[in-house]
Chains A and B, each alone.
Chain A
């Protein structure tokens, strides 16, 4: 059974930093791209970032480019999202998600973790 468990969320002040982790199990982690999708309170889904299985390629939404960095440790079956220069608009539930074999859509999602940016 595929499981994705996010951690590292919480309250942070504007301008602050936070690192999210997503521990994966139930599949061959090193073979699949992984991504992050966020959802602001009461709003829809917004793709944030995706990293390829090999870590060679990563992509970012314009709204986070230059501030967020995705990374992964295949030996630990974990993907990370380093978030810097956080603003109130970054307040959201952040979902970790597993990509399909072709790095296209997300076939499994974590429950998500709440990040609140507030003074």
Chain B
């Protein structure tokens, strides 16, 4: 099983600032990586797939990068609606696995 490790666990950021979230895989997953956003009491929402492709309707301030085993999600200028928990997920191998999440909170 591929283990996905996200860091940091919690990120405190002021509105308008840049947020950088990391996701590391225990082995290469090529570019087969997705990022999801989840707000309290809501279903997860797909943000990024194939490591760097924004899903339909996702604002340009969200960007993904990386390949192999190291990935980054960047939110260029945090808006109030971006404070949430973010998960990465690999789909290179079965079983599909998620990272433990990074909570982005207001500083």
Interface residues, chain A, CB within 8 Å of chain B? Answer: 35, 37, 44-47, 50, 59-62, 95, 100, 104-112
Judge whether B71 is part of the interface by a CB distance below 8 angstroms.
no
A-B contact pairs, 13 of them (CB 8 A): A37-B44, A37-B98, A44-B98, A44-B99, A45-B89, A45-B101, A62-B95, A105-B91, A106-B34, A107-B49, A108-B46, A109-B45, A112-B43
Picked from A37, A60, A100, the residue with its CB within 8 Å of the CB of B49 is A100
Interface string of B85-96 (1 = CB under 8 A from A): 101010100111
B70 to chain A minimum Cβ distance, whole angstroms, is 19
- Secondary structure dominating the interface of B: loop
Q: Which 6 A-B pairs have the closest CB atoms?
A: A105-B34, A109-B43, A104-B91, A47-B96, A45-B98, A44-B101
A59-B94, A62-B1, A62-B95 in contact; A44/B49 too (CB < 8 A)? no
Assembly CA distance A110 to B44 (angstroms): 9
Assembly CA distance A35 to B100 (angstroms): 19
Judge whether B106 is part of the interface by a CB distance below 8 angstroms.
no
User: Number of residues in B with C-beta < 8 Å to the partner?
Assistant: 24
Assembly CA distance A74 to B10 (angstroms): 41
CB–CB A107/B55 < 8 A: yes
* Residues of B with C-beta under 8 A to A95: 43-44
* Residues of A with C-beta under 8 A to B91: 104-105
A39 to chain B minimum Cβ distance, whole angstroms, is 8
Picked from A45, A50, A104, the residue with its CB within 8 Å of the CB of B44 is A45
Assembly CA distance A112 to B38 (angstroms): 12
A111 to chain B minimum Cβ distance, whole angstroms, is 5
B4 nearest CB neighbor, chain A only: A44
